[in-house]
Chains A and B, each alone.
Chain A
Amino acid sequence: MNKADVVVIGGGPAGIEAAYNLARDNHKVVLVEKEKEIFGHMQTAYTLFPNFQDASEIRSSLLQKTKHGNITLYNNSEVTQVSRENDFWRVQTINGLDFIAPAVLLASGFKTFDARYKEELGYGIYKGVITSVEFEEMLKVGKIQTANGEKPRRIAFLNCVGSRDEKVGNHYCSRVCCINAVKLSIEAKKQLPEVEAYCFYMDIRMSGQFYEELYRKSQEDFDVNYIRGRISEVAPTIDNRLQVKCEDTLSQTPLKMTVDLLVLMIGIEASEGTARIGEQVGVNGEYNFSKSISLHTADNKTKHQGFFLAGTCKRPLTVPETMADARAAALEIDLYLKSLSQ
């Protein structure tokens, strides 16, 4: 059994930022990441909204932070069991690691909605239907193309896939996908100026700083079209494209459109690790996201002494929000550890 001051579960933006701030405060931090690579969902990102910052810059900054002498990073180490032992927390991983520490930070993040549950959208059935994550990977390698390797003439983005959807049991808004669709459509137009881009939405939610401006810009400078209506059905056409059907709820007419790529803006759900550890420790809240003790005044603390939360294991957040939350968590943990040694 290895001893540490803090065990941080999850090597995404939240985990790394918190670990780094704790390390700077002279705490011995163990950072455990389930995957081979750290960075969580930043791993696949191309640029970040709302300022189109290159995601690789964020990754190298995060990587630098993990190099701090007080941090020991374990990759390929999925946490399977978290339990309370006397005044300590015990954290065990799938590969046999076993840690004991007075404090634990849960930063196990989110997972994206599995679009196969919405069979009518044809994900996993028609090759032209892809997720926003897959589209971002295409952008990253500079190859936006159809399954046949052709340049798409028309791309449709569909918002709220797996969010705000009673049928799949997720009533909440995932908060990042509207602005992400704006980002992706602009990036698509930058790489393929000829392509037509359509974005199908229920409402456009542009609540962050500069979001509204970006949304206008996408229309004025990049010719992105927005259609209010949820795509209800997708079917193949004779020439191997995709026909999408929806009701344009502004003009109140049924609409059919043929597209080459349909990009599903998949929503945010609690990751499996978040759900499982939350259950074990007893901090599971709605939709399996973890629950802090007070949203307004103690959003990093839980009802258990020494068990803290940071980032999207609590709810959908953007990267800046996640990082700020991680720093706040580090501060709380620092105070807690100091209170123990007094």
Chain B
Amino acid sequence: MNYHPFVIPFTVGALFLFGVVFYKFYAWIAALDRKQKFMVKQNIFSFKTIRAIGEIFREALVHHNIYKKNPVLGYMHMSLAFGWFLLIVVGKIKASLYAGTFFEPPWLGIFFNFFAVDGHAFSYGEMLTFTMDFLLLIILSGLALAIIKRVKSSLLGMRKTTKHSRFDRIALSSLWFIFPLRLMAESTTASLHGNGGFLTNSVGHLIPSAIAPYAELPLWWAYSISLFVFFVALPYSRYMHIPTEVVLILLRNWGADTGEQLSGYTDIQLNSCSRCGICIDACQLNFAAGISDVQSVYFVRDARYKTLSDEVVNNCLMCGRCSNECPVGLELTLVRQQFRNKQEIPGKFYYEYTEPVESKAGVDVIYYAGCMTHLTPSIIISMKKIFEAAGVNYWFMDEDKGVCCGRPLRQQGFIQQSKNLVIKNSRIINSARAKLLVTSCPICYKSFREEYNLNLPVMHHTEYIEGLLADGRITLNASNVTVVYHDPCELGRGANIYEQPRNILRNFSLIESDYEKENSLCCGGSLSDAILDLRLQLKIRDHALGELTKDKPEVLVTACPLCKKSFVHGNKARVMDIAEIVAGNLKVIARKKQSVRKEELQLV
């Protein structure tokens, strides 16, 4: 009989775990929104599922992404996750071979050495025992790293590690015990029966033979109980990420997206965070402003346990640096946005009163500068110059008065109010029947692309200017001014516009900073963080400015009026929008003057 009462805690724990996990999965999937459900139905029987399984293997088991970011940390996660997985699989194979049936009791693989005291009397027994010992060794090495990380995270190349909740601590402590207890239990049995492998036999030799008979059973009991505690705590601890990530990867591959409102997919994302803490290191609020309790890991944790404070939801630049680094690929800013969404509030803040702008027909291009660009008139003047030089038939839509694109309101959670503005602008833009909408502000750009339903394509002026240059509609004088380019959050990580500005800046002497493209820093002037203390905001700016101007470029070029304004006040380098540096270097080609008002182009 391969049974002993000590297997009860393990078996009960495992049943409980499966019950709770499946119940949660069921509830989340039922709470997916209509679009997400539709995507699942569309794609469940497609090649995407196979791709997802590959990704599950790579990410949920091998933790390839963490490995790429930090090899030691990656090894730690891999040894624990993949190692344990293999230990279960190999244990199962071994048990089945030993029992001669595939349907042996589930605990046999887990407590195999206790029951199979007769050594390796079955096919591949010796090899399998070796493998099991080897896997246990790998797991123990990962565990050692985990303990070191707890004690001193900087040793693993991390500046910060996460703080724990109660369930986390219970799960974590039991996890620390599981494998050392397994080693001790197996070794004790090995010392009595000689049925161990290279590791357990060797450790077994160290156990005094007088103690072994008395220690054996208590150790197996302890091992089983530690498994029980871990299984029961798991669904309420960070380790819930292990099963949940599998579901997340499937849904993501099937094309589910975060959406505007909270849904089951939000819960799945919240539960998939492994609290690796990589996002803390990515966050400028942490490394430039010294705030270390609002980062995505804490936001996700508090959202999951429903203990979110306003501070944690709102103190975020929405720069997207953390989403970019998150090894699980959580859409952290979008999820945070969902929690910012405010319910309808009574009052007059719905912008019905905004005056309509008369639409102008018969133009090719609509130029929408945006509210922020109106605070940097040199960008507007430069754009007018460029339009004129290229001979474009355009209409400056918000020249005299305009309606905000709505995104700043949305980012603060005023969705309804924001939508009112979207409707107003859409009407003006669509009725012009133009061919293209150009904007100077990355915030407006993202808003037009994602929130609007327009009858024409939208371009940020970086894309537009690049096109004009490529088509030869404007040309630039050769210049060897040294420039460094700052990717604005909303244009770079937000809209993937990386190459266009660089192509334009090839006309100058472009030098690289340490923070290019996806790794770009936030200028600190983000409109998304309405509660950050100004002094801290300036710290973020000064740090970013210091990094960008390290190699003493003559001009710091950016492509966002907000970034420009932040950096100008920092007083370190000459700051220009990309439109300005282009307008300042235009090769003047004789061309019939367009109807641009001459006096507006007068630069002092």
Contact = CB atoms under 8 A, between A and B. Distances in A.
A160 B374 CA distance: 20
Contacts, number: 44
A166 B537 CA distance: 11
B507 interface: no
A257 interface: no
B374 A117 contact: no
B375 A119 contact: yes
Given A166-B534, A169-B569, A119 B376 contact: yes
B534 A119 contact: no
Interface stretch (A120-128, A283-291, A322-330): A120-128
B377 interface: yes
Interface in A124-139: 124-127
Contacts of B568: 117, 119
B331 to A, nearest CB: 32
A235 interface: yes
Interface in A146-200: 166-169
B603 A125 contact: yes
A127 B602 contact: yes
Contacts of A124: 604
A240 interface: yes
Contacts of A119: 375-378, 564-565, 568
Contacts of B571: 117
B352 to A, nearest CB: 16
B604 A235 contact: no
A1 interface: no
A126 B599 CA distance: 10
A234 interface: yes
Nearest to A116: B568
> Size range of the interface on B?
20 to 34
B569 A167 contact: yes
A254 to B, nearest CB: 10
Nearest to B602: A127
B599 A240 contact: yes
Given A117-B569, A119-B376, A166-B534, A125 B599 contact: no
B600 interface: yes
B219 interface: no
Contact of A235 (B374, B534, B597, B602): B374
B395 to A, nearest CB: 15
Given A120-B376, A235-B374, A125 B565 contact: no
A39 to B, nearest CB: 27
Interface in B128-151: none
A260 to B, nearest CB: 14
B381 to A, nearest CB: 7
Nearest to A119: B376
A54 interface: no
Interface in B352-375: 374-375
A50 interface: no
Contact of B569 (A168, A235, A236): A168
B377 A125 contact: yes
B599 A233 contact: no
Contact of B377 (A117, A126, A168, A238): A126
A146 to B, nearest CB: 12
A125 B381 contact: yes
Interface string B374-418: 111110010000000000000000011000000000000000000
B538 interface: yes
Nearest to A127: B604
A86 B354 CA distance: 71
Contacts of B564: 119
Task: Kindly name the residue among A122, A126, A168 whose own CB sees the greatest number of chain B CB atoms within 10 A.
Answer: A126
B65 to A, nearest CB: 39
Nearest to B565: A119
Given A124-B604, A125-B604, A127-B604, A169 B538 contact: yes
B347 to A, nearest CB: 15
Contacts of A235: 374, 377, 399-400
Interface string B567-591: 0110100000000000000000000
B560 to A, nearest CB: 14
A122 B599 contact: no
A236 B599 contact: yes
Contacts of B374: 120, 233, 235
Contact of A125 (B378, B399, B597): B378
Nearest to A120: B375
Contacts of A117: 568-569, 571
A122 B378 CA distance: 8
A259 B568 CA distance: 27
A235 B398 CA distance: 12
Given A125-B377, A236-B599, 16 more contacts: A117-B571, A119-B568, A120-B375, A120-B377, A122-B377, A124-B604, A125-B378, A125-B603, A125-B604, A126-B604, A127-B602, A127-B604, A232-B375, A233-B374, A234-B377, A240-B599
26 contacts: A117-B568, A117-B569, A117-B571, A119-B375, A119-B376, A119-B378, A119-B564, A120-B376, A120-B377, A124-B604, A125-B378, A125-B381, A125-B604, A127-B604, A167-B534, A167-B565, A167-B569, A168-B569, A169-B538, A232-B375, A235-B377, A235-B399, A235-B400, A236-B599, A236-B600, A240-B599
Interface of A: 117, 119-120, 122, 124-127, 166-169, 232-236, 238, 240
Name the 10 nearest CB pairs between A and B, nearest first.
A120-B375, A240-B599, A166-B534, A119-B376, A125-B377, A236-B600, A168-B569, A233-B374, A122-B377, A124-B604
